[in-house]
Amino acid sequence: MHRSTPRPDGPGGSVALVALVALVALAYEAGCKKAASSSTPERSASATTRSATAPSTSRPTRAGAIVAVDVPNDRRVLVVDGEHERPIVYLHGMCGESRPDLEAWASGARAHGTVLALDGDAACANGAGRTWSTDIAALDARIDAAIDAVASEDGRALDPSAVVVVGESMGASRAVGLASRFPAKYTRLVLIGGPETPTRAALGGTKAVALLAGENEPQEKMRRGAANLEKAGVDARFWELAGAAHGEYGNDGARTMADALAFVTR
């Protein structure tokens, strides 16, 4: 028997059309709810509160990179994060820059502490690089401020009483000045190509001093300084930077510097 299909414009067609529209609307609403629940996971009120109020205690991951850290009322300090919380303060040579030196050896220093490289406090006459004034007390204050700034930025403690000062050329002179002026504070030094022979009078209170010079520069002052300090009862030793001229670290500088730092921090 043939059954006729209700026409859309008839009574039966209107009912069918309304039912169809209702079914489509219900299906659409169910799909939207499912999509929303899958794309936005539920978070408890306590979790939301923690994320909004609790500060992060994790330190930045540097992986040996050289990064700049702001120091209040001073120039930025370059930092290479280390595996220990000992500050290793680097003072570059006259009219020098810290970054190329850190690129040459800082990877070997990370096992012994965190490297902080200060800029000299005076501009060079030709506008290239920085140099150092003779104000040792001001340099001491700058070192303290740099350590505080890096400790604050990293969310950890760096102990200024455990600092090692690494100085190259004029920076080595300033390192000697720090140890002579503040003998109880600066007791561990790494001196590289210094212009003067370190003496017992200046460094007799130090615990350990590593002295380095390049293979292709005069070495007498650093070698004699090591001998003088040993006679004074200070742990002192000389290293040669293979293939290096003055102001250079050679192809094996990172390993040599690592050995020197291991010596003064043991």
At 219-242, the pLDDT tens digits run 999 999 999 999 999 999 999 999
Q: Is the pLDDT of residue 173 over 90?
A: yes
Q: Concatenated DSSP letters for 215-262?
A: TTS--HHHHHHHHHHHHTT-EEEEEEETT--TT---TTHHHHHHHHHH
Q: What is the pLDDT of residue 64?
A: 80
Cα 228–Cα 234–Cα 237 angle in degrees, nearest 5: 70
Q: How far apart are CA 150 and CA 118, in angstroms?
A: 12
Q: How far apart are CA 239 and CA 217, in angstroms?
A: 13
Q: What is the pLDDT of residue 153?
A: 87
Of the candidates 87, 89, 94, 162, which has an alpha carbon nearest to the alpha carbon of residue 122?
A: 94
Q: How far apart are CA 188 and CA 56, in angstroms?
A: 34
- At 62, is the pLDDT very low, low, confident or very high (cuts 50, 70, 90)? low
Query: HEC profile for 153-207?
Result: HHCCCCCHHHCEEEEECHHHHHHHHHHHHCCCCCCEEEEECCCCCCCHHHHCCCC
Pull the structure tokens for residue 159. 């102990």
At 236-255, the pLDDT tens digits run 999 999 999 999 999 999 99
Q: What is the pLDDT of residue 126?
A: 84
Contacts 24+ apart (CB under 8 A), 225-233: 225/191, 225/194, 225/197, 225/198, 225/199, 228/197, 228/198, 228/199, 228/200, 229/198, 229/200, 229/203, 231/200, 232/200, 232/203, 232/204
Question: What average pLDDT does the chain have?
Answer: 82
At 189-222, the pLDDT tens digits run 999 999 999 999 999 899 999 999 999 999 999 9
DSSP type of residue 57: -
Indicate the SS3 state at residue 46: helix
Residues 81-92: what's their mean pLDDT?
Answer: 94
Cα 265–Cα 227–Cα 118 angle in degrees, nearest 5: 45
DSSP type of residue 106: G
What separation in angstroms does the CA of 41 have from each of 37, 171, 222? 7, 57, 66
Contact by Cβ (8 Å): 248, 239 = no
Q: Which fold has domain 66-265?
A: Rossmann fold (3.40.50)
Query: Which are the contacts of 71, defined by CB distance < 8 A and separation ≥ 6?
Result: 77, 142, 145, 146, 149
